[in-house]
Amino acid sequence: MHSSPISRTALLAAVLLACSFDATGLGDEVGGTPAPGVTSVTSVATDTGDTGDTGDTGVTGDTGVADLTGPVDDTGGSGEASGMSDPSDPTMDPPASCGDGVLNPGEACDGGPNNPGGLACTPECTTNVCGDSYIGAGEACDPGPDPQNGLACTPGCTVNICGDGYLGVGELCDDGPNNGAGQPCTAACTVAKCGDGMPGAGEDCDDANNNNNDACLNSCKLATCGDDFLFEGTENCDEGVNNGMYGSPCNVACNGPGPYCGDGVWEKTKEQCDGNAKPDGVNCDGMCKATCQVNHADCNNNIADGCENLKTDEDYCGMCNKKCVGPLNFCFNGNCSY
């Protein structure tokens, strides 16, 4: 027996009414809470009132119909009432960027907007260290990971100055605490050289002038007697290697003339005598020449050893080569006595 048109109409009206309730959030409740979106339908509507219609077994597989007993389907679909993503799901929100002040995965630190210079955190959200090219806390500058000579910033992230041991701008050398007098590098970080006014290695002095008559020669050696330069105010003369030579105007002390005839010093290699400095039995003339005194003779032709006394000398008694012999023989007044 087929169902009547009235029965079909009543069934269709019931289905539409159920859908209407679900669309407004009234058809599905869990624990008394309205469902935020459309729920799936698992129940099947069956027409059992019309047994005469064998071709009509009811509506099956209709998931658009509200299921008043089924669980709420809230997966964030487009049908949810809120329409918002799940904040606990990182795939739903854009990752936070470096500089937002929030420490995110992959960041060692984050100091806030742009991580400005002078902080412990770099603009790349890495811990600020000397050599990372960012000026961090306590750094005056930062030369980067591979600092070169001649930079204004040292590898220690300090401003380069002469004497810090780093070769800076305008410096020809820098040996740190070893800079200074007597060293290869001067206190001004220039390579020491004679005439720069700063004594360097191998220099006794450096007065940076062209005067060889002061305490420091142009060769950067200290003035000394015998250097052939007159140290004004200290030396009276200086003839270099000729100092002290016989007849030189300068002696070895650079305070007067060298040995000369008439100075009273007998220069035996140059003079036969000099004043009262003379051999025995001679007279000394003004030319430092020796002559035998009266009753004296130069019997061996070597006046440097003096003249023999002919009045008393047993070997030269009265004349050269007259010798008094015998144990009791002696020369007296130029005669041999027995």
> Does 13 score more than 50 pLDDT?
no
Whole-number pLDDT of residue 207: 93
CB 182 within 8 A of CB 199: yes
Mean confidence (pLDDT) of the chain: 77
Q: Give the model confidence (pLDDT) of 173-184 as tens digits.
A: 999 999 988 889
CB 28 within 8 A of CB 72: yes
Q: Give the model confidence (pLDDT) of 81-112 as tens digits.
A: 333 333 334 333 334 678 888 888 888 988 88
CA dihedral angle for residue 105, residue 111, residue 115, residue 120, rounded to 10 degrees: -100
Extract long-range pairs of 280-283: CB within 8 Å, 24+ residues apart.
280/306, 280/307, 281/306, 281/307, 281/308, 281/309, 282/306, 282/307
Rg (CA), the chain: 63
- Highest-confidence segment of 36-40, 120-124, 239-243, 285-289: 239-243
The pTM assigned to this predicted structure is 0.46
Type of residue at 265 = V
Rounded distance, CA 130 to CA 111, Å? 18
For tokens 């780093």, name the residue: 166
Whole-number pLDDT of residue 316: 92
Q: What is the DSSP pairing of strand 330-332 with strand 335-337? A: antiparallel
Rounded distance, CA 105 to CA 73, Å? 33
Q: Give the model confidence (pLDDT) of 229-245 as tens digits.
A: 999 999 999 999 999 99
> Does 10 score more than 90 pLDDT?
no
Rounded distance, CA 167 to CA 108, Å? 34
